[in-house]
Amino acid sequence: MRSPTEFRKGKPGFYPDQTIYAEFACAEFGLEFRDLDDGSGLIFSIASRGKLLHFGAGRCSWYPQNNATASTLASDKHFASRILREAGVPALGGEYFFLHDRHRAHRPAGHERSDALEYLRALGSVFVKPLTGSRGDFAQAIHDEAALVRYLDEVMKYYDAVLIQPIVDGTEYRVFLLDDDVLFCARKYPPYITGDGVHTLRELLTAHNDALRARGLSPASLPANDLSLDGVPAKGERREIPGRMNLSAGGTMVLAEAPSEKTITLARQAARAIGLRVAAIDMFDDIGGNPDAIEIIEVNSNPSIRLLEDSNRGDLILKIWHHTFSAAGLL
């Protein structure tokens, strides 16, 4: 059996991961894969005898077994959090704030930019991210009002609203579910840069941020007046970049055992509450050093599975696509 990495050979850099995995799975299950956009991988179809299914990249879901309502609810971090709390599932919560005046007549008071500043004053330091963002884009900690104003000015160019949450100290995990079955669990680690003994920390971070921008992601925030950034890390020395841990933003995920049965139980409850058949549940475990303190960060209805290719787990990629093909009546 060829591996997903072998199917990747010769593909352009923008080619979607999931398109590669779909073609890989079609070859394994005897289904017909057809690219519909001149080899871009952005639109394709999968067919069996008497059945045809189309897929598209971007905001299209790779998991048609998740219904549109559940997927949309999951994509709004505030909606999802409220639903989880209503179901008795611990979730970080937070408050949402709009960045533009349009449609103001259609929403309640208390969710404007000025209210965001009041919320920051109440909490002191906060973690902020776009309400409907993904891949860790613009997810970062904010510690003062001036920084929040600059942040909102930048984010409003790309998004309509943000979610502001308390900063939590815990170990981050992802639990991937197919229906109630745990397919895998992964531990998340923050991005890091590696010293070369020549360039300053500031220069290395600038290069890191340039790479993020090239992939359409926001840069890591840098404290402008931090003199330690002008030091030169030793060759091979690692420096973590705190904040977001998304793979796309340079973070690391490693397949791992779930830290407890409670994390699995809460992941299942979260997916059921939203109504998802395929879900990746991100959560903080061991909050403040308390192994029983767990909070759901967010529920992903269209999760990436690049980790499985990087971990040589093509067998798990096939299980996911078998679930998709079966749900669509292709198998």
Hey, how many other C-beta atoms are within 10 angstroms of the C-beta on 32? 12
pLDDT value, residue 219: 75
User: CA 294 → CA 30, 194, 221, distances in Å?
Assistant: 43, 31, 27
User: CA 298 → CA 160, 205, 227, 264, distances in Å?
Assistant: 19, 27, 35, 15
CA-CA distance, 71 to 81, in Å (whole number)?
A: 14
Full set of structural domains in the chain with CATH: 4-65+312-327 (no CATH), 67-88+170-190+242-301 (3.30.470.20), 93-167 (3.30.1490.20), 191-241 (no CATH)
- Residue 190 · residue 241 · CB < 8 Å: yes
Does the CA dihedral 247-251-256-262 come out positive or negative? Answer: negative
Dig out the tokens for 254 from the structure.
């490693």
pLDDT value, residue 266: 97
- Ramachandran assignment for 243, one of left (phi > 0), alpha (psi -120 to 50 degrees), beta (any other): left
CA-CA distance, 281 to 284, in Å (whole number)?
A: 10
Does the CA dihedral 270-272-275-281 come out positive or negative? Answer: positive
Q: What is the pLDDT along the chain (331 residues), one digit of tens a residue?
A: 789 999 999 899 889 999 999 999 999 999 999 999 999 999 999 999 889 999 999 889 999 999 999 999 999 999 999 999 999 999 998 999 999 988 888 888 999 999 999 999 999 889 899 998 877 788 888 888 988 998 899 999 999 999 999 988 889 999 999 999 999 999 998 888 888 888 888 888 888 878 777 767 777 776 666 667 788 888 888 887 776 666 666 778 899 999 999 999 999 999 999 999 999 999 999 898 888 899 999 999 999 999 999 999 999 999 999 999 999 999 9
Closest CA to 20 of 1, 9, 7: 7
Where are the alpha helices (H) located in the chain, listed in sequence order? 4-8, 17-29, 68-75, 77-86, 113-123, 145-155, 201-214, 261-274, 306-310, 314-327
Sheet of 161-166, strand order:
95-98, 161-166, 126-130, 140-142
Hey, how many other C-beta atoms are within 10 angstroms of the C-beta on 143? 13
CA-CA distance, 137 to 290, in Å (whole number)?
A: 29
